Structure 1
Amino acid sequence: MITATVLAVLVAPAAAVAAPRGGYQQGLDRVAAAGAVSVLAEIRGEHGTWRGTSGVAALGSTRPVPVDGRFRAGSITKTFLATVVLQLAAEGRLRVDDPIEKWLPGTVPGGDRISLRQLLNHTSGVPDVLPVLAKPPSPEFFANRWRTWTATEQIRLALTQPFTGPRYSNTGYLLLGQVVEKVTGRSPGAEIERRIIRPLRLRGTSMPGTSPWIPGPHPRGYVPGPQGLVDFTEMNPSLFGAAGELISTTSDLRRFFDALLGGRLMPALLPASLPASLPALLPASLPASLLTEMRQGLGLATRVTTCGIEVYGHDGDALTYQSWSYGTADRRRQVTVALTPNFTADPDDAVDAFLDEVFCR
């Protein structure tokens, strides 16, 4: 299943003809109007590459959003980490069917029955840490702004909750980060840098660890506070850890997913024949409510557009920044959108409409 799940992305139907470029800016403006301070996007299609922005780079200013701006990419980090795990599997240094108990003994109750594969595809039942972490606008959240979290601390917090059925879990990727460190002797961030960021020359991408700064040009990010929005651009990203600390740009994410879908990052996993489709790999007995979580695959998510085109990538939420990066299996069309929410409304529907506009016209 590991190889098929990752590589089924290569066999989806080709995308339709690209939408006229004039519509892209209008669509981006609609995303901004739906609840964002700033929006930036990059679209690659048969007519070349289009990059655009909307909104302002900071509240109270007229400064334009930098088109090459960096942002916290949130859970898109998971695809980078999953790629490292799969590379280690291809090298024979671990197996995805290894129980977590083999690598982190005594860490997870029942760890002898939970595989790395289940952590990768969110079917382990390991509870997510997010429900037990303080959130804005609580005073505890702001008091922890500069706190350094360890993966061990967060895993222990998560495990105070009961286990569940298959469900999206950041804790699973914190555990995978610890496995990478156990196998390689290096932090998951260092392995992502060594195996992905440097080889692909992703110059706007970094794993910041505990550094609170976003290097290079970037829009400011905000969270809701007791008296309104609070600039929270600088913060200790160990809160997200190996499950979400990545900083990147729209261009870098396009290059990463192009390399991933093109087989450049995991050539040893390419089989002689490919399965017909990713949905065929999903257990038929799962309830419909779990389909989204199961389709997360091994660090690679799928979306089905309103016109029926299946696209592959991931999205991320890092409090002050939200991002989406998806492409067609034939790699002819790829879209990355990043925004800083203003929390007056949820911009997700507007982003969904923008992605549909790009992929379906």
Structure 2
Amino acid sequence: MTFASVAVLIGAGMPAAGAVPAETRAVPASGTARSTGLDREGLAAALDGVHRAGTPGVYAEVRDAGQVWRGASGVADLATGRPVRPDMRQRVGSITKTFTAAAILQQVEKGRIRLDAPIGRYLPELVPGERGRRITVRMLLNHTSGIAEYLPHAFPSLAKYPSLPDMSPESLDDNRFRRFRPAELIKMGVRAPAVGTPGGSPGVYSNTNYLLLGLLLEKVTGTTAEKYITENVIKRAGLRHTEFPARPRIEGPHSRMYEAFFGLIDPPRDYSVYDMSWVGVSASLVSTMEDLNRFYAELLAGRIVKRSSLAQMQRMVKVISQTGETIDYGLGLKARVTGCGTFWGLEGTVWGAATASWTRADGKRQMSVAMNLVRWNKLDASGRPQPHPIDGALSALYRQALCDDGDAPAGDASGQGD
């Protein structure tokens, strides 16, 4: 899941253009990569701005050339007033995809997986026939497979979009303790009408792709994808507070997680207790802002995968995001071009929790931020999210955290990313 609206997510089955081979290109360096130190007062003020704009709690860690700032503003629990803390654990949503992609690239380095081999070679029972022969591992990683999103089938009350009066969050509560199997969810996506031609451009973002990659990892490693990623990605990066949840409750200090669902849940409801099998290795990871900054620093330094593999991860293609926008997406990575350099990372949401993590290409400047409210924008009659003060406050935080400059362009930070 992502900072995207779920209403648009359910509409993600828009047709992808033709059978044009997917473009692959590197994102050039942009702007001037500079280390200006940390404006701690400016960061604290920007974080407070996000809270004042309507977010119950927000917390972050920003790093610059060895300096570290951690801050928090607001509350972790609206009922008790318990304050939010910068060391809290968070469900980080689609940031999980970078971890899963790195694990796949490790297996590519070992020769057990080929990026351009058909997925039908490895998992013929899940992607059979002609599609299995045409869709490659790379296409799953960069969302150009044409396989549809399974979420509207797993959460049927959300699938009524664009019939907005009929759309409801009922499925969120129905599935709170439901245990999904990855193969069950994959079949929903594979059996749905295709959203594009394999390798076509633009691709269409789909969580089904990453559940398939999880089962591919299991096939070639002989262990669960969660265990492999834990041993070979999480531990290799030296992360101490990052894990795949074994149960609906998060272990360790964490905030409640409030889902507004575009005003349809009023007041917002806490979904911090939830069985995360509905997203698995696509978006279920729990982490801290400190761990996320460490992970992306290690990845960009070539210590999780080889430099050649990292270069593959940074090859961009055009993908229709879950907001309906066309974005540049690599193998589990996105690029954010700013006035102070190019940053790599991802954003993600699950019910009630939003997270973003960005690291500049030189590894010196980093930002990870977590929020305990999502889908705060109400929808108009056509289903488009309406502006909200949180959007502007979040943009100001991004500018301050990435560039130490409230006026510098810092890429889109509207809270509507992937």
TM-score range, shorter chain: 0.7 to 0.9
Aligned mates of 1:138, 1:127 — CA distance in 2 = 21
CA distance in 2, matches of 1:11, 1:227: 42
* Matched residue, 1:320: 352
Summarize deviations over 1:126-157 as a string: whole Å, max 9, x none: 11122333259533321221011111111111
2:54 corresponds to? 35
Tell me the amino acid that sits aligned with residue 331 of structure 1. G
Query: What CA distance in whole angstroms lies between the structure 2 residues aligned with 1:173 and 1:26?
Result: 37
Work out whether 1:354 is the aligned partner of 2:397.
Answer: yes
Give the direction of change, closer, same or farther, for the CA distance of 1:46–1:96 in structure 2 (3 Å limit): same
Give the alignment's Cα RMSD to 1 decimal: 2.9
User: What is residue 228 of structure 2 aligned with on the other side?
Assistant: 191
**Residue 179 of structure 1, aligned match among 192, 209, 216:** 216
Q: Which moved more, 1:239-248 or 1:101-110?
A: 101-110
Map 1:148-159; keep pairs closer than 5 Å.
Answer: 148-159=179-190
8 A contact 1:146–1:236 mirrored in 2: yes
Give the paired residue count: 347
Distance 2:242 2:42 in 1: 29
SS at match of 2:372: strand
> What TM-score, normalized to structure 1?
0.87
1:1-361 aligned at under 5 Å gives the runs: 13-15=32-34, 17-18=36-37, 20-46=39-65, 48-108=67-127, 110-134=131-155, 135=158, 137-165=168-196, 166-209=203-246, 211-224=247-260, 228-267=267-306, 269=308, 295-305=328-338, 307=339, 309-341=341-373, 343-345=375-377, 347-360=390-403, 361=405
**Matched position secondary structure for 1:351:** helix
Relative contact order, CA 8 A, sep 6+: which one is greater? 1
Aligned equivalents of 1:104, 1:243: Cα separation in 2: 18
Deviation at 1:351, TM superposition (A): 2.5
SS state at 1:36 partner: coil
Whole-angstrom distance in 2 between the partners of 1:186 and 1:287:
31
Tell me how far apart the structure 2 counterparts of residues 342 and 175 of structure 1 sit (CA, whole Å). 27
Q: Distance in 2 between matches of 1:287 and 1:195?
A: 29
2:371 & 2:51 partners in 1: Cα distance? 8
Q: 1:265 to 1:115 in 2, by over 3 A?
A: same
Cα 1:264–1:47 change in 2 (3 A) is closer
Q: Alpha-carbon deviation of 1:20?
A: 1.8
Deviations 1:47-77 (A, max 9, x none): 7100000110101222211220001000000
Residues 192 and 355 from structure 1, CA distance in 2 versus in 1: closer, same or farther, beyond 3 angstroms? Answer: same
* Structure 2 CA distance for partners of 1:313 and 1:114, relative to 1, 3 Å: same
For residues 271 and 319 of structure 2, the distance between their equivalents in structure 1, rounded to whole angstroms, comes to 38
Cα 1:82–1:34 shift into 2, 3 Å: same
| Cα displacement string for residues 281-318 of structure 1 (whole angstroms, at most 9, x for unaligned residues) | 557xx69999976622011111123x263210111111
Sort the Cα spacing of 1:246 and 1:293 in 2 relative to 1 into closer, same or farther, 3 A.
Answer: farther
Distance in 2, Cα, partners of 1:300 & 1:173:
13
**2:104 counterpart SS class:** helix
1:12 shift after superposition: 8.1
Using the size of structure 2 for normalisation, the TM-score is 0.76
Structure 1 gap segments, 5+ residues each: none
- 1-structure distance, mates of 2:143, 2:98: 13
**Structure 1 residue identity aligned to 2:343:** V
Q: Give the deviation of 1:34 after TM superposition.
A: 3.1
Question: 1:230-279, CA deviations, whole angstroms, 9 ceiling, x for partnerless residues?
Answer: 222111011111100100000000110000000001137369xx89xx6x
Q: Which amino acid aligns with 2:276?
A: P
Greater CA deviation, 328-337 or 136-145? 136-145
**Aligned pair in 2 of structure 1 residues 19, 161: CA closer, same or farther (>3 Å)?**
same
Q: Which runs of 5 or more structure 2 residues have no equivalent in the other structure?
A: 1-23, 159-166, 197-202, 378-387, 406-418
Letter paired with 2:366: Q
CA contact (8 A) 1:15 1:328 kept: no
SS in 1 for 2:56: strand
- Displacement of 1:349 in angstroms is 4.5
Give 2:399's aligned amino acid.
D
**Secondary structure at 2:195 match in 1:** coil
